[in-house]
């Protein structure tokens, strides 16, 4: 039983987890694939740095080409992150017939089609389960579990940092800035949190999920993205009072052949399964025409959960190696991508308006909704004790985005509206 | 592109769903597997019966051997149910080189090892995703998604009928008998509901899940099973008051190499993800040493959800056919089965006792727990207004089953205890 040799690019948190699982679970892995799996070489930035796992220093290298060009190495596991340099390494590894397992959502969201094409040309596998939702096996679920179905909706809580922040804001009534600071101290948020809190990380993951779910190559720029930095504790309290929670949701929808993908803070009815996903946990809700509602829940990040997905991919690559069927993944993006226009994107909306507290205001406002044919599910007007203003809360029925944009534009020119305080999509 | 020919055994609810999906999603299926998938022949009990799908009568047969022995047929899809006769058909089909997709939990729980061995000997695939939890792809998740991990716990709500009954009892305060009758009228429960309500159906599914999760052949007789017919609305109300819900849980646990599998009504802390799985929905909670907590949620039964899993298996078989790698599934049960003794099975317990309402009773009772080293998390004593009895509610810390059995035995000989009203396992 010739051992399968792995070159590991990166030995940070996730890389360390990969070493731990491959070494700690070696017996189980061998029982499944029939040969030892050996981590042969590891790319690090600094060979002499102290590591918190025992690893033979002779395996460490600072030169990526010592791994990529090593004819002995069968599989590259890429957990170094980054895009352009990393892409070069991966393309070169593929051109040399090495299979690739990656956790790199940025790379797959931006260059997935090119990488998968190059893999096919070289009869290599590229697997990337760990790139979305850490330990949740959502990618194989979309490719294999639902191969028979037609998915119409994917909603994901795919960023743990923002879900942690929103959960804390909800449970403790704290402000965004307070909780962000705490999350940074706990290591749940980066010093520069932009990629997480502005929804960019979630957008990359939704690019990958929607490409798989809808079987068409969705590009990152197709995703309209709004983060959580504008979510106030007031909004969260209004949501709670009405039976909703605020979540940063990635929402990918398909109707007929037209799709839309967004990331935005969303008010979710608290009876919806995804509403109770709290803290750093992730979940992906998938609706299929035949299967109906499903949801997949688990840790979205972390050393061992993410490494679980990477090593599961490694097992799949090695099984294919044994059978001689690498690079035979059926194309998953065989459909032409057709994006919805704003007229085709429909959802319910929540609006919080600050208005003049005088007669006839509500009539003027409802008239605007009527003009653009946006019908209303509920309207609540109440005085604002601290101001000479009243507050009006509106929840619409399904309204198309183009019409809502016109309503909001019209509101700007309406004297009685002092401020459109908040606008949220509503789900569930 | 030579079409792949399928023989369908059974055209009830699920069989009808299979026909609908294979025909309705033909274009998508072809794009994935590269050839048409054709339902060539269908075994029915009565060819002349009216069907609620359009199907060419010439495809229908009442003779199973016309399908099993047809050299043109590549794959058998078995949705007829039953055990011994069905097993014969499947073994014969395998011996003739036909691959098998089955939704038959009874068959797989009772004869899974024999069927899988026969499949391997004949280089055939046997896939059975639909046998557990309908549309939830939990079997491929255990085999592939968590191939890298060591699972220590699987908790499943894997029977929709009982979950519907318990949900209704909880939400409406109704009695077991009332709700069962309603469920029967709605078609959620059979005229003879024994298999569902006594936990036998769930036990079969837990046999399959624990075999996969622990990689050792668990047999149906290894599962200790208790159904929900003894669950009273009083128990449910006590649970609610203490922050628990009552669920029929299949629980498979592993510690070191020792495993236990049970099905029983369980009080689940209402913050646990599985506590909010309501109605006919199913969910499987999986805890892995590396991945931590995960949960998979969806429809557990029904025409189209179950057919989704069957057709996904069919797609997998056809992909293997194209690559010439059928029958190459790695063995999933490579470990020796070691069952826990009652001394090794630990859990928290809830007890409701009816006792004499006089001094010293609580002291006597707590003395018994102390004698067998069962420590208590909380004790609540209250008068029962309708009786000269008091009620004592006890929740224990983790206690081993042997010790708890001794406690319960001792209680029988204790004069002050009039009745041990209820005993539940507690989770979360």
Packed helices B84-95 and B105-121: angle between N→C axes, nearest 10 degrees:
20
- Say whether B291 and A298 touch across the interface (CB within 8 A): yes
| Annotated catalytic residue B247 | no
Nearest CA to CA, how far is B93 from chain A (Å)?
24
Please tell me the distance from the alpha carbon of residue A294 to that of residue B249, in angstroms, as a whole number: 19
| Averaged pLDDT, A212-227 | 97
Q: Give me the count of residues in chain A.
A: 428
Whole-number pLDDT of residue B382 = 82
pLDDT in tens, B381-421: 887 777 778 999 999 999 999 999 999 999 999 999 999 99
**Is the dihedral angle over the CA atoms B56, B61, B62, B68 positive or is it negative?**
negative
Q: Do A159 and A275 fall within a single domain?
A: yes
Q: Is the pLDDT of residue A331 over 80?
A: no
Q: Do A154 and A116 fall within a single domain?
A: no
Token match 């369908």: residue? B8
Residue from the list B129, B150, B291 with its beta carbon closest to the beta carbon of A305 = B291
Q: Where are the beta strands (DSSP E) in B207-317?
A: 223-225, 244-255, 258-269, 281-288, 292-299
Catalytic residues of A: 205
Element of type H or E holding B364: helix B361-371
Q: Do B267 and B411 fall within a single domain?
A: no
Q: Do A288 and A308 fall within a single domain?
A: no
Number of domains in chain B: 3
| Averaged pLDDT, A199-225 | 98
Phi, psi for residue B174 in degrees, rounded to 5: -80, 165
Whole-number pLDDT of residue A151 = 98
Please tell me the distance from the alpha carbon of residue B218 to that of residue B208, in angstroms, as a whole number: 8
Q: Do A385 and A293 fall within a single domain?
A: no
Across A113-127, A310-324, B373-387, least confident range:
B373-387
Q: Do A149 and A283 fall within a single domain?
A: yes
- Say whether A135 and B291 touch across the interface (CB within 8 A): yes
Answer yes or no: is B384 within a domain.
yes
Q: Do B110 and B246 fall within a single domain?
A: no
Residue from the list A148, A315, A319 with its beta carbon closest to the beta carbon of B311 = A148
Residues of A whose CB is below 8 A from B215: 28, 31
| Averaged pLDDT, B351-355 | 95
- Say whether A29 and B288 touch across the interface (CB within 8 A): no
3-state helix, strand, coil in chain A (%, to 5): 40, 30, 30
* Domain range enclosing A307: 4-135+303-323
3-state secondary structure of B124: coil
Answer yes or no: is B334 within a domain.
no
Which residues, 6 or more positions from B158, have their beta carbon under 8 angstroms from its beta carbon?
Answer: B132, B133, B201, B202, B205, B206, B209, B250, B282, B284, B300
CATH number at residue A397: 3.30.70.260
3-state secondary structure of A22: helix
Residues of B whose CB is below 8 A from A299: 291-294
Whole-number pLDDT of residue A330 = 67
Instruction: Evaluate whether A146 touches A215 at the Cβ level (below 8 Å).
Output: no
Residues of B whose CB is below 8 A from A273: 276, 297
pLDDT in tens, B104-113: 999 999 999 9
Residues of A whose CB is below 8 A from B295: 295-298
Phi, psi for residue B259 in degrees, rounded to 5: -125, 160
- Say whether A290 and B299 touch across the interface (CB within 8 A): no
For B217-245, give one letter per residue: b (16+ CB within 10 A) or e.
bbebebbebbbbbebebebbebbeebebb
| Chain A residue with the nearest C-alpha to that of B136 | A294
Residues of A whose CB is below 8 A from B281: 293
Per-residue pLDDT band for B330 (boundaries 50, 70, 90) equals low
Q: Do B118 and B158 fall within a single domain?
A: no
Element of type H or E holding B114: helix B105-121
CATH number at residue A83: 3.40.50.720
Catalytic position from the list B41, B98, B168, B205: B205
pLDDT in tens, A130-187: 999 999 999 999 999 999 999 999 999 999 999 999 999 999 999 999 999 999 999 9
Higher pLDDT, B182 or B54: B182
- Say whether B295 and A297 touch across the interface (CB within 8 A): yes
Answer yes or no: is A397 within a domain.
yes
Sheet hosting strand B75-78, strand order edge to edge: B60-61, B37-43, B4-9, B75-78, B99-102, B126-127
Pick the residue of B34, B281, B308 with the most A CBs within 10 A to test the interface with A by mutation: B308
Percent of chain A with pLDDT over 90: 93
Answer yes or no: is A206 within a domain.
yes
Whole-number pLDDT of residue B359 = 87
Instruction: Evaluate whether A364 touches A414 at the Cβ level (below 8 Å).
Output: yes
Q: Do B117 and B17 fall within a single domain?
A: yes
Q: Do A77 and A191 fall within a single domain?
A: no
Taking alpha carbons only, the member of A415, A183, A149, A175 closest to residue A291 is A149
Which residues, 6 or more positions from A231, have their beta carbon under 8 angstroms from its beta carbon?
Answer: A166, A169, A176, A246, A265
Q: What is the mean pLDDT of chain A?
A: 96
Residue from the list A136, A281, A315 with its beta carbon closest to the beta carbon of B148 = A315
Q: Do B291 and B363 fall within a single domain?
A: no
Residue from the list B21, B281, B296 with its beta carbon closest to the beta carbon of A290 = B21
Answer yes or no: is B105 within a domain.
yes
- Say whether A328 and B328 touch across the interface (CB within 8 A): no
Phi, psi for residue A299 in degrees, rounded to 5: -75, 130
3-state secondary structure A217-233: CCCHHHEEECCCCCCCH
CATH number at residue A253: 3.30.360.10
Taking alpha carbons only, the member of B76, B6, B100 closest to residue B329 is B100
Per-residue pLDDT band for B196 (boundaries 50, 70, 90) equals very high
Cβ neighbour number for residue A164 with a 10 Å cutoff = 22
Q: Do A150 and A87 fall within a single domain?
A: no
**Is the dihedral angle over the CA atoms B236, B238, B239, B243 positive or is it negative?**
positive
- Say whether A31 and B215 touch across the interface (CB within 8 A): yes
Per-residue pLDDT band for B273 (boundaries 50, 70, 90) equals very high
3-state secondary structure of B28: helix
Cβ neighbour number for residue B357 with a 10 Å cutoff = 15
The annotation places the binding site of B for L-homoserine at 190
Answer yes or no: is A338 within a domain.
no
A250 forms bridges with which residues in the sheet? A156, A263
- Say whether A295 and B298 touch across the interface (CB within 8 A): yes
Taking alpha carbons only, the member of A95, A97, A67, A96 closest to residue A79 is A67
Percent of chain B with pLDDT over 70: 100
Residue from the list B25, B148, B298 with its beta carbon closest to the beta carbon of A25 = B148
Pick the residue of A280, A294, A301, A317 with the most B CBs within 10 A to test the interface with B by mutation: A294
Take residue B237 and report the two structure tokens written for it.
Answer: 């109300």
Answer yes or no: is B145 within a domain.
yes
Whole-number pLDDT of residue B386 = 72
**What is the ipTM metric for this complex?**
0.95
Nearest CA to CA, how far is B306 from chain A (Å)?
8
Whole-number pLDDT of residue A191 = 95
pLDDT in tens, B332-347: 799 999 999 999 999 9
Answer yes or no: is A106 within a domain.
yes
| Averaged pLDDT, B2-13 | 97
Instruction: Evaluate whether B267 touches B284 at the Cβ level (below 8 Å).
Output: no
């Amino acid at each position: 039983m010739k051992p399968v040799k792995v070159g590991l690019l990166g030995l940070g948190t996730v890389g360390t987890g990969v070493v731990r699982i491959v070494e700690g679970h070696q017996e189980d892995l061998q029982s499944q694939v029939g040969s030892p799996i050996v981590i042969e070489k590891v790319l690090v930035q600094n060979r002499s740095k102290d590591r918190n796992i025992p690893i033979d220093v002779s395996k460490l290298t600072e030169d990526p080409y010592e791994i990529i060009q090593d004819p002995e190495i069968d599989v590259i596991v890429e957990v170094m992150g980054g895009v352009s340099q990393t892409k070069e390494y991966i393309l070169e590894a593929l051109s040399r017939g090495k299979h690739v397992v990656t956790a790199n959502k940025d790379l797959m969201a931006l260059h997935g089609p090119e990488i998968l094409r190059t893999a096919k040309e070289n009869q290599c596998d590229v697997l990337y389960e760990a790139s979305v939702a850490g330990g949740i096996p959502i990618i194989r679920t979309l490719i294999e579990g639902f191969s028979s179905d037609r998915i119409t909706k994917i909603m994901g809580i795919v960023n743990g940092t923002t879900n942690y922040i929103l959960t804390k804001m909800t449970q403790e009534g704290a402000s965004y800035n307070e909780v962000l600071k705490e999350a940074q101290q706990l290591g749940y948020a980066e010093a520069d949190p932009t990629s997480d809190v502005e929804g960019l990380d979630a957008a990359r993951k939704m690019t990958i999920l929607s490409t798989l779910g809808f079987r068409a190559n969705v590009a990152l720029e197709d995703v309209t993205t709004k983060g959580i930095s504008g979510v106030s504790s007031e909004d969260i309290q209004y949501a709670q009072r009405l039976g909703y929670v605020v979540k940063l949701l990635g929402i990918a929808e398909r109707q007929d052949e037209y799709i839309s993908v967004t990331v935005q803070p969303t008010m979710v009815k608290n009876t919806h399964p995804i509403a109770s996903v709290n803290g750093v946990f992730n979940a992906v809700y998938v609706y299929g025409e035949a299967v109906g509602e499903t949801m997949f829940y688990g840790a979205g990040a972390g050393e061992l959960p993410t490494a679980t997905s990477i090593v599961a991919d490694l097992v799949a690559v090695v099984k294919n190696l044994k059978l001689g069927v690498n690079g035979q993944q059926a194309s998953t993006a065989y459909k032409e991508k057709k994006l919805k226009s704003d007229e085709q994107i429909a959802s319910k909306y929540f609006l919080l308006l600050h208005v003049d507290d005088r007669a006839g205001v509500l009539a003027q406002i409802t008239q605007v909704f009527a003009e653009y044919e946006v019908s209303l599910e509920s309207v609540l007007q109440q005085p604002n004790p601290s101001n000479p203003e009243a507050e009006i809360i509106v929840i619409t029925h399904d309204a198309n985005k183009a019409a809502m944009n016109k309503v909001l534009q019209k509101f700007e020119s309406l004297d009685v509206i002092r401020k459109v305080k908040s606008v949220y999509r509503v789900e569930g």
